[in-house]
Amino acid sequence: MDGISGSSAFPPIGDYGFLSDCEVTALVAPSGNIEWLCLPRLDAPSVFGAVLDRGAGGFRLGPADIRVPAARRYIPGTMVLETSWGTATGWIIVRDVLLMGPWHHEDELSRTHRRAPTDYDAEHVLLRTVRCVSGEVQVTLDCEPVFDYGRQAATWSYTDRGYHQGVARAEDVGLELKLTTDMRLGFEAGKAMARTLLKEGETRYAALSWTEHEPPHDFREAYERLVWTAHHWQHWLARGDFPDHPWRSFLERSALTLKGLTFAPTGALVAAATTSLPETPGGQRNWDYRFSWIRDSTFALWGLYTLGFDWEADDFFWFIADVAERDKDLQIMYGVDGERDLHEETLDHLHGYEGAKPVRIGNGAYNHRQNDVWGAILDSFYIHIKSRDGLDERIWPIIKRLVESAITHWREPDRGIWEVRGEPKHFTSSKVMCWVATDRGARLARLREEPELADRWQKVADEIHADVCTRGVSADGIFRQHYDTDALDASLLLIPLVRFLPPDDARAKATVLAIADHLTVDDLVLRYLTDETDDGMTGHEGSFTICSFWLVSALVEIGELDRARRLCEKLLSFASPLGLYAEEINPVNGRHLGNFPQAFTHLALINAIIHIIRAEQQQLAVPSITTNGGQERV
């Protein structure tokens, strides 16, 4: 199946809106149905899971008889989603938001926060407001939570607020949902329902809450808290350093999305908000991405520091430092609170998005050996530590242990950056990242004025470099996926980006151009060719959008600025209607595939755009010289 059919009950993945309060996330379908919400944190079991099974719970607020909205947008600079509806009799506007508020742990310590508190905190309330702007419209509310990934139907009961508040519970589920509204609720089986006629100028609201914190109890209070949240996001975004450029809006939406994918109590950045949205329509490549990958750290810190969000970058750095200090053997990924055991299981009772099975929770790749992890974390430490003053005494023992681990294991095969489930191989990009680990370690040792250690680590770095340049290059002078093949791999685009070779090196240029010419479909980059790579799975996949953005950055590096700009323009044209990206894009029809929204894609977008802008600035400053661009190391 090439894509989602027109008669599908499931919206296209790219049509979902994304909400976050930095502790939980939600997806909102164009129909006004909230189809993904996990509580009480973003990796917990879902209470609304219709994105994976139409019977797994949802929460719709909208016109009674119309499912297709007239327009959708985020209120500029915010995570407040606004949907406009036109009917035969009138117009309404629905606004959806996960509320933020002032820091509220004044009389007691938070049980979950391990990072320094800020001035704001999640309110643990999903707020929906509706306003009739002309005519009159019949509005319906249907809230049907199904706890534990669609396994436990809810039972509703009224509270002392009568028809204006209901509580949903399920047996053996330690979570209660409270729905508060100025509409009159009724209960049908596991569903709370309301219906009302709104006339011009009239308003209604509904607030779903799941903690002891009070929801708004009238529309005025609801509106004030929505405005507070909108201003919070706008003030947060104003802290950033965004270039005055036509692509600024893409950078801003990516920054907001990355912030929304951050678990504020620990600083962890999750790969995506969802699990098991398929990389192949109807296929088996369905994974749980609600975890924090260590390999994301370099790009996360580079992107956040580049845009001026040092606080968020530092929080993620200290999350990484926590697990690196605790664990002798560093995993490739962790839970958002640093959990090690991410046991993978399938939920066979769920239909799957467009029938894509299995639906998985947990991720069995957590215990894979990936030798690139040491390079990723050492490069992120190097980015964080900008001076001797930044080289914290707590961090130095961690650095030494990680460099020594890279030295011990760099000659061993692994499963590579893509976590292939076939046989371990000597992946070239893994060797390159082991070089990064030893190279950055040597630089930090020199910064610390330990010349003997720096010399020993540099000697190993030189040995790894020579090995890769000898065994990792084909007879055509192109870097290969692993030592036993001449197949291409998009991870080799990192070679100029991490400064393994200078961008004018013939092998680096040849590799970038070979990937651009032979590992693409309609210019969009594949990770690898599935018929050339034993990844332990069947079927094909779409283009990996992060790899396409990597190609943009790499093309800038080797001096192909015009080609990079054309590709970047094409990629930006594939953004979802709300400016979001999934993991993959089908090059044939532009459909988004895989988990959504995808942090790694937005990080690579930031990297690519900044590369182009800096190259353009350099070209304008010295018009007679062709720029290599991107002088800042990734």
Task: Supply the pLDDT for residue 516.
Answer: 97
| pLDDT band with cut points at 50, 70 and 90 for residue 632 | very low
The answer to whether the CB of 607 falls within 8 A of the CB of 553 is yes
The answer to whether residue 599 sits within a structural domain is yes
* Angstrom distance (rounded) from CA 556 to CA 629: 5
CB contact burial 402-411 (16+ within 10 A = b; e otherwise): bbbbbbebbe
**Are 292 and 403 in a shared domain?**
yes
Same domain, 299 and 230: no
Residue 526 in this model has a pLDDT that exceeds 90: yes
Q: If we measure between CA atoms, which residue out of 22, 601, 513 comes closest to residue 263?
A: 22
Rounded Cα–Cα distance for residues 594 and 544 (Å): 10
Considering only CA atoms, give the Rg of the chain: 25
Which tokens hold the place of 274? 């969802």
Is the omega angle on the peptide bond into residue 11 within 30 degrees of 0, that is, cis?
A: no
Domain with 358 in it: 247-620
Query: Does 281 lie in the same domain as 192?
Result: no
Q: Is residue 631 domain-resident?
A: no
- Domain membership of residue 626 (yes or no) is no
Token pair listed for 435 = 């070089």
In this structure, the answer to whether residues 117 and 217 fall within a common structural domain is: yes
Q: Decide if 124 is inside a domain.
A: yes
Q: Among 178, 203, 238, where does a domain finish?
A: 238
- Over range 341-366, report the average pLDDT: 94
**Shared-domain flag, residues 449 and 310:** yes
Q: β-strands 162-169, 177-181: how paired?
A: antiparallel
Residue range 151-209, pLDDT digits in tens = 999 999 999 999 999 999 999 899 999 999 999 999 999 999 999 999 999 999 999 99
CB contact at 8 A, 609 and 601: no
Give the residue from 632, 588, 586 showing the smallest Cα distance to 606. Answer: 632
Instruction: Residue 23: name the closest of 128, 75, 98 by CA.
Output: 98
Q: Does residue 625 lie in a domain region?
A: no
- Which residue is associated with the tokens 């993978």? 344
Tell me, yes or no, whether 49 and 28 share the same domain. Answer: yes
User: For the domain that residue 160 is a member of, what is the CATH number?
Assistant: 2.70.98
Same-domain check for residues 233 and 327: no
Q: Do 191 and 291 lie in a common domain?
A: no
Residue 452 maps to which CATH number? 1.50.10.10
Helices marked H in 343-427 = 373-384, 395-409
- The answer, yes or no, to whether residue 626 has pLDDT greater than 60, is no
Q: How many residues would you count in the chain?
A: 634
403 with 366, same domain: the answer is yes
Does any domain span residue 267? yes
What does the alpha-carbon distance between residue 251 and residue 417 come to, in Å, rounded to a whole number? 26
For residues 230 and 321, membership in a common domain is answered with no
Return d(Cα 430, Cα 371) in angstroms, integer: 5
Tokens in use for 508?
């680096």
Return the half-sphere exposure (C-beta side, CA atoms, 13 A cut-off) of residue 5. 7
Return the DSSP state at 88: S
For 633, other C-beta atoms within 10 Å of its C-beta total: 12
Contacts of 80 (CB under 8 A, 6+ apart): 74, 95, 96, 97, 226, 229, 230, 233
Q: Is the separation of the CB atoms in 499 and 518 below 8 Å?
A: no
- Position 633 scores a pLDDT of 44
Q: pLDDT grade, residue 6 (50/70/90)? A: low
501, two tokens = 């070779």
For 423-443, what is each residue's pLDDT tens digit?
889 999 999 999 999 999 999
Whether the per-residue pLDDT at 627 is higher than 80: the answer is no
Amino acid at site 45: P
Pull the structure tokens for residue 490: 């998009």
CA angle 37, 146, 96 (to 5 degrees): 35
Same domain, 425 and 509: yes
Report the C-alpha gap between 320 and 317 in whole angstroms: 5
Look-up of token digits 């802290």: 239
Percent of the chain with pLDDT over 70: 94
Contact 512, 478 (CB under 8 A): no
Q: What's the pLDDT at 4?
A: 43
The pLDDT of residue 454 is 96
pLDDT band at 524 (very low <50, low <70, confident <90, very high): very high
Nearest to 604, CA basis, from 522, 523, 545: 545
Q: Is residue 92 part of a domain?
A: yes
How many structural domains does the chain have? 2
Model's pTM, two decimal places? 0.93
Closest listed residue to residue 307, CA positions, set 380, 232, 254, 263: 254
Inside any domain, residue 7: no
CA nearest to 48, candidates 40, 37, 39: 37
Last residue of a domain, one of 182, 212, 238: 238
3-state class (DSSP) for residue 614: helix
**Do 418 and 482 sit in the same domain of this protein?**
yes
Cα 355–Cα 356–Cα 362 angle in degrees, nearest 5: 130
Tokens of 234: 């706008």
What is the number of other CB atoms lying within 10 angstroms of the CB of residue 462?
14
Out of 238, 268, 292, pick the residue that ends a domain: 238
